[in-house]
Amino acid sequence: MDRFSEYRIMWVLVFFDIPVETKKQRKAYANFRKALIQDGFTMFQFSIYVRHCPSRENADVHIKRVKLNLPEYGKVCIFKITDKQFADIELFECMEKKTRNPIVQQLELF
């Protein structure tokens, strides 16, 4: 199989809705978000973070890290899709179709 196949390369999307009503909840939210960023995730929209992964196996590693940092309260959804599926996402802003910034190939050292 081609190492750079658009069906082998994966994207991990993390959707979350974490309450921030108390100081403890705000701290849990901040810690969860900080852990995502430290693991290479970037904000796609508010409460949606994405990470490019060169393979399914690598995506599984990052999914395990997200699970290790799950907050006590709230909802978290982890979604894994292929690069081909991610490329088909249509983005709109103020009812106008928005072109995505070109995806920069991420270099990972093992």
> What digits encode the pLDDT tens for the residues 50-89?
999 999 999 999 999 999 999 999 999 999 999 999 999 8
Q: Which two three-digit tokens encode residue 104?
A: 């920069």
- Predicted pLDDT at 109: 56
What are the sequence ranges of the domains in the chain? 10-98
For 15, other C-beta atoms within 10 Å of its C-beta total 14
Task: Say what the pTM is.
Answer: 0.81
Nearest CA among 66, 64, 71 for reference residue 26? 71
CATH number of 10-98: 3.30.70.240
Backbone CA torsion sign across 49, 68, 25, 31: negative
Q: Is the pLDDT confidence value at 34 over 90? A: yes
